[in-house]
Each structure stands twice: as structure tokens, then as C-alpha cells.
């Protein structure tokens, strides 16, 4: 993966120095409010290794977000193949994110996500990028709307990987952005 630079951020592959932050965001009660699990350090390390290997082999993925001015890793934003979800058509690519709470509210996710949308449509040639979140997760759906994605309630689904006993966490709102919508956004921004 060639690092992607935005006005304030660097999107790059995982490095050893990111392990503590990755564990923090995967074990933090506030960050993981809408997930049925928290990861301990060993689980976080294994997941980070998996994400790093994915980026190495695909050139994209859930990648660390580094603040360019400080070199500090604050979380991740990226694109990931969503074939693991039977509710989505084969070949779907999702955009997702997770930041440490002290970095919420600064526009970092939207800035990084816009860079990943450009990469997805312009470099990968995707026709659609999707996103989804627990229906009650207004923070995430608000970001989806800010970056130009549109809700599609006809494609909402109960997440099959969320255990049945977590009834509140199963219903997911579905959002998408098609290539035509991205191109329209680009023209309007000029």
C-alpha cells in the first residue's frame, strides 16, 4: 500500500508501534458500544496482523490513520471486501472506521473516508461502496451521510455474525454510494 495523504492525515499500513492503540480501540467500552465483543491484547494483536496481511496482499484495507503533524496513530479507516456477509452481493466492498474517542468530533473519519472513496472509485474502479452499522449507531450513520452515502432501508439486514442474544445489535442500517453519486460530488466540489 502506498500511503495516502490528505490535508491532515496519512493512511498507511500497520506498524508495530500501532499495537497499543489498536488494542485500546478494540477493548474500549465507548468505541465498542455497538459490538457484541471486546478484544483482549492477544486477540487485538492477531487481528492487527490479519489486517496488515490483507493490506499487503490487496493494496487497501482497514488502515491506520496517522495525524501527519504529530505522527500519532488515532484509529483506522478503510475499504474491505464484504464477502463475509451473506446479506450482501458477492464482490461488495465496505468502508468502515474506528477511532479512539479523544479524536472524535474533529472530522478525521470523514477526511480519511473521502480519500478512501476516491481510491475505491478512481483506483479500484468500483461501481459501489457500501457501509452499514447498528441501526442505533447514529455517530456512524451521520458520518456515512456526511461523506455522501445514502440510506437504503430496502437493504437493511440483521447481521448474521451477531449472536441472537444481542437483539439490539443485530439490526443494521445499510448505506451506499454509487460511482455516479461520487462523480456528482466531485463536480459539485469544484
**In terms of pTM, does the model score above 0.85?**
yes
Give the model's pLDDT for residue 110.
97
User: Which of 30, 50, 34, 53 lies closest to 42 in space, CA to CA?
Assistant: 50
pLDDT at 17: 97
Give the HSE-up count for residue 61: Cα atoms under 13 Å, Cβ half-sphere.
20
The domain ranges of the chain are 4-189
pLDDT of residue 43: 96
With 90 as the cut, is the pLDDT of residue 72 above it? yes
- Tell which residue, 141, 134, 4, has the closest CA to residue 64: 4
Q: 3-class DSSP state for residue 144?
A: helix
Smallest CA-to-CA distance from 177 within 84, 58, 95 is with 95
Q: What is the mean pLDDT of residues 1-17?
A: 94
Cell of 150: 445514502
Residue carrying C-alpha cell 445514502: 150
For residues 189 and 37, the model is more confident at 37
Q: What was the pLDDT predicted at 86? A: 83
Percent of the chain with pLDDT over 70: 99
Whole-number Å distance between alpha carbons of 135 and 81: 21
pLDDT digits (tens, 9 = 90+) for 80-122: 999 888 888 899 999 999 999 999 999 999 999 999 999 999 9
- Measured distance between the N- and C-terminal CA atoms of the chain, rounded to whole angstroms: 28
Is there a contact between 139 and 104 (Cβ–Cβ < 8 Å)? yes
Class of domain 4-189: alpha beta
Query: Concatenated DSSP letters for 59-104?
Result: S-SEEEEEETTTTEEEEEEEEEE-TT-TTS-TT-EEEEEEE-GGGT
Amino acid at each position: 500500500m502506498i500511503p495516502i495523504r490528505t490535508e491532515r492525515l496519512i493512511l498507511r499500513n500497520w506498524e508495530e508501534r500501532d499495537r497499543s492503540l489498536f488494542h485500546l480501540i478494540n477493548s474500549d467500552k465507548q468505541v465498542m458500544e455497538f459490538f457484541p465483543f471486546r478484544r483482549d491484547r492477544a486477540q487485538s494483536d492477531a487481528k492487527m496482523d490479519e489486517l496488515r496481511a490483507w493490506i499487503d496482499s490487496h493494496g487497501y484495507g482497514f488502515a491506520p490513520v496517522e495525524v501527519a503533524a504529530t505522527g500519532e496513530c488515532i484509529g483506522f479507516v478503510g475499504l474491505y471486501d464484504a464477502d463475509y456477509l451473506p446479506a450482501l452481493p458477492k464482490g461488495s466492498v465496505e468502508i468502515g472506521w474506528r477511532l479512539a474517542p479523544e479524536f472524535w468530533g474533529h472530522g478525521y473519519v470523514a477526511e480519511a473516508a473521502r480519500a478512501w472513496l476516491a481510491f475505491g472509485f478512481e483506483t479500484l474502479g468500483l461501481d459501489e461502496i457500501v457501509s452499514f452499522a447498528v441501526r442505533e449507531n447514529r455517530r456512524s450513520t451521520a458520518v456515512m451521510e456526511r461523506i455522501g452515502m445514502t440510506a437504503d432501508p430496502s437493504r437493511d439486514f440483521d447481521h448474521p455474525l451477531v449472536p441472537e442474544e444481542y437483539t439490539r445489535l443485530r439490526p443494521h442500517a445499510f448505506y451506499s454510494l454509487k460511482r455516479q453519486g461520487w462523480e456528482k460530488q466531485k463536480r459539485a466540489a469544484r
